[in-house]
Amino acid sequence: MSQHILTICYLIGSITFIIGLKMLSNPASARKGNLIAAAGMSIAILGTIFLFTYDENGTVHHLGNYIWIFAALLIGSIIGTLSAKKVQMTAMPEMVSLFNGMGGACAALISIVEFNHLSKSLGASPTTEMIHHAQPTTLIIVLGLIIGSVSFAGSMIAWGKLNGKVKDFSFTGQNILNIIVLASALATAVYLIFNPQQHSLLYVILGLSVFYGVFFVMPIGGADMPVVISLLNSFTGVAAACGGFLYDNKVMLTGGILVGAAGTLLTILMCKAMNRSLKNVLIGSFGANAKSTSAAGIQGDHKEISLSDAAMVMSYANKVLIVPGYGLAVAQAQHTCHELEKILTDKGVEVKYAIHPVAGRMPGHMNVLLAEADVSYDILLEMEQANDEFATTDVVLILGANDVVNPAAKSDPASPIYGMPILDVQLAKTVIVNKRSMKPGYAGIENELFFKPKTSMLFGDAKKVLQDLCAEIKNA
């Protein structure tokens, strides 16, 4: 009877994952979708702890070890809750990388533990029949180990890069070395599948996979990190699905497949948004030279605009498009930006937001940021929609965005971002750029937009500038 109830728990968990993922597609329902999926996961976890049974020598056993299980759950819950409450939106990509890496590590540990169990069952001198019977399980184990280890190692390097503790590193022939290491890990895995009694090879595969994970991410430039995060997230999902196969656990399998599929689709979309090839992502070569090929210096003279003039231009505009970027997130100015939007709207100005798919440090970063400030989803324009409206826009206010509005992506074949779809802000009548200074953006290259005749620079912290703009416009 308990097994039937457990199956229902897993079914509930699987359904809530699907519903939750669907609800995450809309900022208005994302929070509720997350809670629904979390509730389903809780049901699946508790059902496994109390209802799962296994047969050993004709005797039915429950899991046991409840003290260890609940101690781990308590410690993990406390750490996760405190981390989530304390993290700033600017550090959210780092937390995503860290947590994603923990998922990959768990999948790798499952593979190691289960292979040790398999080795004990085979004994020192397994028969041909025993080896043949163990091969499918060994296949799933080594897949989970390789994918989980690569995800863990790569995510830790991505975490270090995002918080500035790890610098870009590359050398001549690194891509070839990466391919050799990956091929060696796969070849060793194939040999182990047909010779599962050679259990020491599992740790060789582990070492090669971790090495590949590190050097796979090391050379990747900062501007390409959104793609890396998305790709590693899909790796973790596939590794978790391997665990679901091992344990014949339906909810683990469903969750892993959903994460793997969603991460893969998002990776493809990110590649398209950044004009990168998926093949180059897989061998770790893209974005490696973005910093080294940055522009040699200022390309002309820029002009500044005063707060009062900026307020006047925006107050008497018919349409204003706001382009949020990482500078907005750093200043935690999303609520002040929403206040500016409401003030302008009350004055009869049409205000919308233009969202580039890779603005910020992770996919959807700006959408989440603005949703936190209760900005209406209806006025958030995707890149294609926004590009159709710039020509009829009176003022574009750019808040900390840089590379995603750089015209070099269309005009300079020598630029590292050449070919990347951008927001065509230069089509608007007036462009106001808020930055702290004239320093290059995340890709490390100069932005020729800043020197265009239509462009004016409004220097300062985004939050302080927006607060002063709100005050000026109210008095305009």
What is the per-residue pLDDT across 205-214, written as a single tens digit (0 to 9) for each?
999 999 999 9
User: Is the pLDDT score of 40 beyond 80?
Assistant: yes
* Over residues 267-292, mean pLDDT: 62
pLDDT value, residue 286: 44
φ/ψ region of 65 (left if φ > 0, alpha if ψ in -120 to 50, else beta) reads: left
pTM: 0.80
For the cut 60, the answer to whether the pLDDT of residue 299 exceeds it is no
> In this predicted structure, which of 90-99, 133-142, 340-349 has the lowest mean pLDDT?
90-99
Residue 279 has pLDDT above 80, yes or no: no
For residue 293, name the pLDDT band (cuts at 50, 70, 90). very low
- Asked if 258 and 17 count as a contact pair (C-beta separation under 8 A), the reply is yes
Q: According to the model, what pLDDT value does residue 289 have?
A: 47
- Highest mean pLDDT: which range of 107-116, 119-128, 215-224, 442-451: 107-116
What value does the mean pLDDT take over residues 49-62? 80
Residue 350 has pLDDT above 90, yes or no: yes
Tell me the mean pLDDT in the region 182-195.
Answer: 94
Contact 396/431 with Cβ under 8 angstroms?
A: yes
Active site residue 403: yes
The per-residue pLDDT for 277 is 72
| Residue whose C-alpha is closest to residue 316's, from 352, 340, 350, 354 | 350
Average pLDDT of every residue of the chain: 86
With 50 as the cut, is the pLDDT of residue 443 above it? yes
Closest CA relative to residue 332, chosen from 372, 303, 304: 372
Higher confidence at residue 45 or residue 411?
45
**How does residue 223 score in pLDDT terms, banded at 50, 70 and 90?**
low
Phi, psi of 108 (to 5 degrees): -65, -40
For residue 288, the model assigns a pLDDT of 45
Which of 138-142, 173-177, 355-359 is predicted most confidently?
A: 138-142
Least confident range from 5-14, 26-35, 207-216: namely 26-35
pLDDT at 287 over 50: no
Per the rule left: phi > 0, alpha: psi between -120 and 50, beta: everything else, 164 is: left
> So what's the pLDDT on residue 67?
93
304-328 pLDDT, tens digit per residue, is: 999 999 999 999 999 999 999 888 8
Q: Is the pLDDT of residue 144 over 70?
A: yes
pLDDT in tens, 62-73: 888 899 999 999
pLDDT digits (tens, 9 = 90+) for 97-114: 899 999 999 999 999 999
Per-residue pLDDT for 197 more than 90?
A: no
pLDDT at 294 over 50: no
Nearest CA to 218 out of 286, 137, 314 is that of 286
Of the candidates 224, 403, 424, 468, the residue annotated as catalytic is 403
Report pLDDT digits (tens) over 154-187: 999 988 888 878 887 877 888 889 889 999 999 9
Q: Does domain 307-475 have CATH number 3.40.50.1220?
A: yes
Helix axes 334-346 and 365-372, enclosed angle (nearest 10): 70
